[in-house]
């Protein structure tokens, strides 16, 4: 192909790249990547057929510039994600620490209800957990493997199911905030009572320590994620109930954004707790020191990232202002 024909055929595309680089037009990252690939093909062709031409030098410069822009865009995207986890999410959490404390106390009360109900009514676990589960657990205890429930399913499908189920539960707790927070409190109540019943059931069988060191390997992160999801639900509900000086719609939109950020923040907790439950909890013969270490490490992380670190950032912000 003659150079003049090559120029005529591709001029429109090259002008488009120039307008993107000069920020006169916008395209998606995928389209920028496609243009880059097309330019490299043009540059390769030009180097082969017109090695000393000004066209080749022009294409070389154009390709280098769009390559740099693509990489800058990727760095900005990574920077945005980094800033979200390091600054944005902790600051949002810090603004709602009082709500988190309230949700925590409410959830503990619900757990206590499950404990007390089970203590005074031995049939209560069957009402909450179901006959099938209770009978299976009693059989496991009789067989000398009280935590055998965590071994009934192979690890990979168990991990996928638990991840899905816990995200679903957290979603219900969060969305319940739209019902003036009543839905959030309802789902926290049912899960709290179930937890208290489940744990105290093993206490009654003289298996507190072994059950605690097994259940809370994954339960520390899992229950923490539900409490934080509850905080997000209350933030959502309060924005609807107490708009303050804002129009109710404006308050709801603002509250929904804050609450959604908190909800996103627990996704890693849910995934990792599902991993622990599927692959680690089932190792019931592991040393107590190892189990206790996992529980303590999980608890320390939650306290640091969702309480201490946000408080530190908020204090710094107040000092600067």
pTM: 0.78
Question: Of 51, 82, 113, at which residue does a domain stop?
Answer: 82
**Domain co-membership, 138 together with 177:** yes
The answer to the question of residue 91 being in a domain is: no
* 218 closest CA partner among 272, 170, 169: 272
**Domain co-membership, 276 together with 301:** yes
Low-confidence ranges of the chain (pLDDT < 50): 321
The answer to the question of residue 89 being in a domain is: no
pLDDT of residue 64: 78
**Domain co-membership, 232 together with 292:** yes
**Domain co-membership, 67 together with 199:** no
**Domain co-membership, 27 together with 161:** no
Between CA 2 and CA 6 the distance in angstroms is: 6
**Domain co-membership, 166 together with 20:** no
| DSSP symbol at 305 | I
CB 160 within 8 A of CB 153: no
**Domain co-membership, 103 together with 138:** yes
**Domain co-membership, 168 together with 66:** no
The answer to the question of residue 297 being in a domain is: yes
Neighbours of 69 (CB within 10 A): 16
* 262 closest CA partner among 90, 104, 103: 90
- Using a CB cutoff of 8 Å and minimum separation of 24, what contacts does 19-27 make? 20/66, 20/69, 21/62, 21/65, 21/66, 21/69
- For 162-194, what is each residue's pLDDT tens digit? 999 999 999 999 999 999 999 999 999 999 999
**Domain co-membership, 58 together with 155:** no
Question: Of 82, 114, 140, at which residue does a domain stop?
Answer: 82
The answer to the question of residue 56 being in a domain is: yes
State the burial class of residue 305 (Cβ atoms within 10 Å of its Cβ: 0-12, 13-18, 19+).
middle
The answer to the question of residue 90 being in a domain is: no
Question: Of 82, 109, 126, at which residue does a domain stop?
Answer: 82
* 100 closest CA partner among 317, 315, 307: 307
At 74, list the tokens.
């990727």
**Domain co-membership, 251 together with 301:** yes
Domain that holds residue 21: 3-82
> Into how many domains does the chain fold?
2
The answer to the question of residue 32 being in a domain is: yes
Q: How far is CA 269 from CA 115, 147, 220, 224, 274, in A?
A: 26, 23, 10, 8, 8
The answer to the question of residue 170 being in a domain is: yes
Between CA 130 and CA 301 the distance in angstroms is: 34
pLDDT of residue 321: 47
**Domain co-membership, 158 together with 307:** yes
The answer to the question of residue 88 being in a domain is: no
Where helices occur in the chain by DSSP H, the ranges are 3-21, 29-49, 54-83, 89-95, 97-120, 124-129, 131-142, 155-175, 182-204, 208-241, 248-265, 267-275, 288-303, 309-320
**Domain co-membership, 36 together with 171:** no
């Amino acid at each position: 192909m003659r150079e003049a024909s090559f120029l005529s055929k591709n001029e429109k595309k090259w002008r488009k790249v120039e307008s993107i680089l000069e920020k006169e037009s916008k395209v998606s990252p995928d389209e920028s990547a496609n243009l880059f690939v097309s330019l490299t093909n043009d540059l390769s062709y030009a180097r082969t057929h017109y090695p000393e031409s000004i066209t080749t030098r022009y294409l070389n410069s154009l390709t280098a510039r769009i390559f740099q822009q693509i990489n800058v865009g990727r760095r900005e995207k990574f920077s945005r994600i980094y800033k979200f986890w390091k600054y944005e999410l902790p600051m949002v959490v810090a603004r709602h620490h009082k709500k988190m404390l309230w949700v925590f106390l409410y959830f503990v009360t619900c757990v206590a209800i499950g404990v007390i109900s089970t203590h005074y009514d031995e049939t209560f676990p069957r009402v909450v957990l179901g006959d099938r589960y209770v009978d299976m657990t009693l059989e496991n205890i009789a067989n000398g493997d009280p935590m055998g429930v965590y071994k009934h399913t192979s690890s990979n499908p168990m991990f996928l199911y638990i991840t899905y189920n816990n995200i679903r539960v957290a979603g219900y707790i969060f969305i319940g905030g739209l019902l003036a927070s009543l839905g959030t409190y309802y789902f926290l109540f049912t899960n709290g009572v179930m937890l208290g019943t489940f744990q105290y059931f093993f206490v009654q069988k003289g298996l507190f320590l072994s059950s605690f060191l097994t259940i809370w390997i994954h339960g520390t992160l899992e229950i923490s994620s539900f409490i934080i999801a509850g905080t997000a639900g209350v933030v959502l509900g309060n924005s609807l109930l107490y708009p303050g000086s804002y129009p109710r719609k404006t308050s709801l939109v603002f509250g929904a954004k804050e609450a959604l950020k908190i909800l996103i923040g627990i996704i890693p907790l849910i995934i990792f707790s599902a991993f622990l439950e599927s692959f680690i909890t089932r190792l019931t013969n592991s040393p107590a020191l190892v189990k206790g270490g996992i529980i303590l490490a999980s608890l320390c992380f939650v306290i640091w990232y969702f309480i201490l670190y946000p408080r530190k950032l908020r204090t710094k912000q107040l000092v600067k202002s």
